[in-house]
Amino acid sequence: MSIPTPPFTDEHEELRASARGFIERELAPHAQRWEEEQWFPDEVFPKMAAQGLLGLKYPEEYGGQGGDYLHEAVLAEELARAGSGGTAAGIGAHINIATPPIWKFGTEEQKQRYLAPAIRGERIGALGITEPGAGSDVAAISTRAERVDGGWVLNGEKTYITNGVRAHFIVTAVKTTREGGHHGISFMIVDRREGVSSSALHKLGWQASDTATISFQDVFVGEENLLGPLNEGFKLIMANFQWERLVMALGSVGAMALAWERTAEFARQRSAFGRPLSGHQAIRHELADLATSVYTCRCVTYDALRRFIAGEEPLKEVTMAKLLTQRACFELMDACLQIHGGAGYMREYWVERAARDARLGPIGGGSDEIMREILGRVLGL
């Protein structure tokens, strides 16, 4: 049986090689330091932009590379080589969740004002949906936008927002009717300005990323910053979920493959009881199982990607890929940590960080439980 594979061409493989080179040269050597500092520098964005990596799927008229989702998929997988889930998350939030709604639903003027500078790495974006009282149940958000002359005034709080401290603009979901809900939410692009304040949150993993609670206190947002149709914001939220989840699956596949390679090498080099670890059947079998998991996750993710690229609406396949890969990635990292023994528990080993970083997958971008709920519906249960 042939394996469903996205139609990667030579051009995609060239992109893969150059993105990998950049990531291994410019990002990976700093992973440990950025982890300790709980921050990666803003300069990473213009550096990525100079390589064309912030606008792979965006049209050339906004400074993008004129590519498509398949080019972006290559980068999503390669970003795992940064060795820092937090750095990949900060870059990924900018590319894959904050800017796509502007690209798809923004006016020409909004694209020039936000998308083009975002592609140049001059302005950093965040997506603000989650609130202290509403996560999985996105329709329950309560941040309120009151109509005033020339625009709206926002009050409320967003939380767990990636790039929430550094972002120059926040693509924000707000209630624009008293009831809110599916036909009462709108999107607004909120500039960092008076009334917008952020406080950094401390996390188990993704330490190099900046995750924040953002408060809006009487923040004026002009008419021209309404993104997409009024009261139809729920559709904007839904519109990017498939891509966001595919990106998470791709990132996990990349991280799993890399972790497997490094752990297999460690098992060949490290000896116990007179032979390499890989010479012990229990370890060899564990590595065989882990290789099978990497392969399975890649096949399922690539199949969902191929369908997505072909213009299908592969809700079932993307949901399954997200559900399968996020838990499998965490389990694989834990198994790799175990094979490293005490070294695996030490800060200076990559695997300790990778295991912590992987724990986010089953929670973020729609939790495992929400993926199962979607599948329940799709499967007619």
Ligand X SMILES: Cc1cc2nc3c(=O)[nH]c(=O)nc-3n(C[C@H](O)[C@H](O)[C@H](O)COP(=O)(O)OP(=O)(O)OC[C@H]3O[C@@H](n4cnc5c(N)ncnc54)[C@H](O)[C@@H]3O)c2cc1C
- When the beta carbons of 6 and 228 are compared against ligand X, the nearer one is 228
Give the tokens for residue 140. Answer: 């329950």
Helices (H), the chain: 10-22, 31-37, 44-50, 69-78, 85-92, 100-105, 108-110, 116-119, 233-269, 281-309, 315-339, 350-358, 368-378
- When the beta carbons of 162 and 278 are compared against ligand X, the nearer one is 162
- When the beta carbons of 121 and 125 are compared against ligand X, the nearer one is 125
Helix 233-269 to helix 85-92 angle (10° resolution) is: 150
CB 83 within 8 A of CB 353: yes
Residue reference for tokens 């996390």: 203
CB 189 within 8 A of CB 154: no
Give residues 129-148 in contact with ligand X (rule: CB under 6 A).
129-130, 135-136
For residue 351, give every residue at least 6 positions away whose Cβ sits within 8 Å of its Cβ, in sequence order, or none: 259, 262, 263, 333, 336, 337, 340, 344
CB of 95 to ligand X, least distance (A): 12
Per-position x/- string for 293-332, each x denoting binding to ligand X as judged by CB under 6 A, each - no binding: ----------------------------------------
Report the Cα 17 to chain-centroid distance in Å: 21
Catalytic residue among 72, 244, 286, 317: 244
Contact call for residue 369 and ligand X (CB under 6 A):
yes
Give residues 61-100 in contact with ligand X (rule: CB under 6 A).
93
CB neighbour burial string for 200-221, b if at least 16 within 10 angstroms, e if fewer: eeebebbbbbbbbbbbbeebeb
CB of 32 to ligand X, least distance (A): 19
Is 72 noted as a catalytic residue in this protein? no
- Determine how many CB atoms are found less than 10 A away from the CB of residue 306: 17
Contact call for residue 367 and ligand X (CB under 6 A):
yes
- When the beta carbons of 20 and 175 are compared against ligand X, the nearer one is 175
Contact call for residue 376 and ligand X (CB under 6 A):
no
Residue nearest to ligand X (CB): 135
Contact call for residue 370 and ligand X (CB under 6 A):
yes
197 class by beta-carbon count within 10 Å (0-12 exposed, 13-18 middle, 19+ buried): middle
Among 11-19, 127-135, 244-252, 302-310, which window interacts with ligand X (CB under 6 A)? 127-135
Candidate residues 16, 120, 168, 203; the one interacting with ligand X per rule CB under 6 A: 203
Per-position x/- string for 149-168, each x denoting binding to ligand X as judged by CB under 6 A, each - no binding: -----------xxx------
Candidate residues 19, 118, 127, 351; the one interacting with ligand X per rule CB under 6 A: 127
Active-site residue numbers?
A: 244
Where along the sequence are the contacts to ligand X (CB under 6 A)? 93, 127-130, 135-136, 160-162, 203, 206, 211, 360, 363-365, 367, 369-370, 373
